[in-house]
């Protein structure tokens, strides 16, 4: 008995195209989730001058070979106090709350 396989190059090319489409769809989905999460985090961010809320950002998804990474956070001109405001559970905020990013992610 013998088996002959033909068209293996076409099968591999098709799989590569499928992989590209899946990767693109995963990046799109990840970015949609990140943008929605940042919107929620900004709604929960304490506001004094508005600088902290305005400093929220989402980077584009990045393909690292075996994984896709995306960063969202607060910083920029608010970098010096963003972490302190986020972590201070004893602070009273007229608008917003502590753990504004963490709670939105969860």
Contact 98, 88 (CB under 8 A): yes
The model carries a pTM of: 0.82
Per-residue pLDDT reduced to its tens digit, 7-46: 888 888 888 788 888 889 999 999 999 999 999 999 999 9
- C-alpha span between 90 and 99 (Å, rounded): 11
- C-alpha span between 46 and 89 (Å, rounded): 12
Name residue 73's beta-bridge partners: 57
Query: According to the model, what pLDDT value does residue 11 have?
Result: 82
| Cβ-proximal residues to 10 (8 Å cutoff; 6+ apart), any chain | none
Average pLDDT of the chain to the nearest whole number: 92
Name the least confident of 31-35, 59-63, 64-68: 64-68
Name residue 56's beta-bridge partners: 74
């Amino acid at each position: 008995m013998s088996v002959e396989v033909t068209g293996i190059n076409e099968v591999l090319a098709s799989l590569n195209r499928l992989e590209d489409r899946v990767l693109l769809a995963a990046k799109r989905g990840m970015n949609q989730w990140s943008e929605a999460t940042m919107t929620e985090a900004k709604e929960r961010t304490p506001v004094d001058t508005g600088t902290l809320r305005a400093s929220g950002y989402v980077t584009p998804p990045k393909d690292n070979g075996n994984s896709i990474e995306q960063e969202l956070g607060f910083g920029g001109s608010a970098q010096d106090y963003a972490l302190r405001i986020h972590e201070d559970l004893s602070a009273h905020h007229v608008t917003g709350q502590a753990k504004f990013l963490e709670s939105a992610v969860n």
